[in-house]
Amino acid sequence: MENPPHLILHSQKDPPAYSEDGVDLTLIRWMLSLTPTERLNVLQQNMLSIVRLKHAGIRAADY
Amino acid sequence: MQESVPQIIEILRVLDDRQVKFIIVGGVCAVLHGAPITTFDLDLVHSRAPDNLNCLVKALIDLDAYYRGHLKRIKPDIESLASPGHHLLMTRFGPLDLLGTIEKNLGYANLIGHSEEIQIENLQLRILSLEHLIEIKEQTFREKDRLILPVLKHTLQEREKNKKK
């Protein structure tokens, strides 16, 4: 049975996933595929996630 | 207490409505170029031409801007915004850092030739070129700036590879 797509590992034919200094190049390629508006939306979502996690951490510490 | 999330596009919209001339620099500039980093503040280098300072002060009134980290609510005025210094503000849409100049005393007039226009929603905005952003980050000794340098450099490399395809 074939693996579902999310289980397929990085093949040697693919461009490298990481640079030699450890930068995730797949994230860069993904960001470059977006429009500037979409990139800004990604940033806004990241901010929202961080704030939510921070508040979840504060609530958890209260218990 | 619920902490609100900065709304960068809303700050930019108010500045655009007031026809303020500025260049987006820093982390948001890097993200708009495609660098996968996260930042919480919007850094802008504003034109310190008298006409522009008038527009800027009106925009800052619309944004309810005041200096962060002061006990009193100090509002920015034309005289202070005309200086080459940094103005770390809080607005009703989140933090906004207005920079009279950045590394090596570079102001709006010096940077405009190293900027490019982009469109976000219906706004035409100016951002510092990725090449120049890297150059500036390389000159700084701030650890947080140096940390994102490899990401910026690889973003530039990947973008150049895409252009060749």
What's residue A5's pLDDT?
A: 57
Q: Any idea what the Cα angle at residue B159 is, between residues B155 and B162, rounded to 5°?
A: 145
Q: Which residue has the higher pLDDT, B75 or A59?
A: B75
Is residue A58 within 8 angstroms of chain B, CB to CB?
no
Of the pLDDT bands very low, low, confident and very high (cuts 50, 70, 90), residue B23 is very high
Domains with residue ranges and CATH for chain B = 8-129 (3.30.460.40)
B1: confidence class by pLDDT, cuts 50, 70, 90? very low
pLDDT at A4: 58
Question: Closest by alpha carbon to B151, among A18, A50, A16, A46?
Answer: A18
Identify the three-state secondary structure at position B80. helix
pLDDT above 90 for B8? yes
pTM here is 0.90
pLDDT band at A54 (very low <50, low <70, confident <90, very high): confident
Q: How far apart are CA B109 and CA B94, in angstroms?
A: 27
For B103-146, the pLDDT digits (tens) are: 889 999 999 999 999 999 999 999 999 999 999 999 887 888 88
Name the residue type at position B138.
E
ipTM above 0.90, yes or no: yes
List Cα–Cα distances, B82 to A12, B44, B56, B68, B124, in angstroms.
Answer: 55, 14, 11, 18, 24
Where b means 16+ CB within 10 Å and e means fewer, B123-141 reads: eebbbbbbebbbebbeeee
**More confident: A61 or A38:** A38
Of A23, A42, A51, the CB nearest to B154: A23
Residue B38 in contact with partner chain A when CB distance is under 8 A:
yes
Q: Look at A1-10, A16-25, A43-52, B37-46 and tell me which has the smallest mean pLDDT.
A: A1-10
Instruction: Determine the Cα–Cα distance for residues B115 and B87; give it in Å rounded to an integer.
Output: 21
Q: What does the pLDDT read at residue A60?
A: 74
For chain A, give the secondary structure using H, E and C: CCCCHHHCCCCCCCCCCECCCCCEHHHHHHHHCCCHHHHHHHHHHHHHHHHHHHHHHHHHHHC
Does residue A8 have a pLDDT over 70? no
Contacts of A42 in chain B (CB under 8 A): 31
Of B6, B119, B154, the CB nearest to A25: B154
Residue B46 DSSP symbol: E
Q: Are B34 and A44 within 8 A, CB to CB?
A: no
Is A40 within 8 Å of B31 when comparing Cβ atoms? yes
A51 touching B, CB under 8 A? yes
CB contact under 8 A, B121 and A39: no
DSSP tag of B75: P
Q: Give the minimum alpha-carbon distance from A54 to chain B in angstroms, rounded to a whole number.
A: 10
Are residues A25 and B158, on separate chains, in Cβ contact within 8 Å? Answer: yes
Q: Which pLDDT belongs to residue A55? A: 84
Query: CA B14, B49, B141, A29 torsion: positive or negative?
Result: positive
Question: Each residue of A9-50: pLDDT tens digit?
Answer: 667 678 899 999 999 999 999 999 999 999 999 999 999 999
CB-CB contact of A55 with B3 (8 Å):
yes
- What was the pLDDT predicted at A2? 55
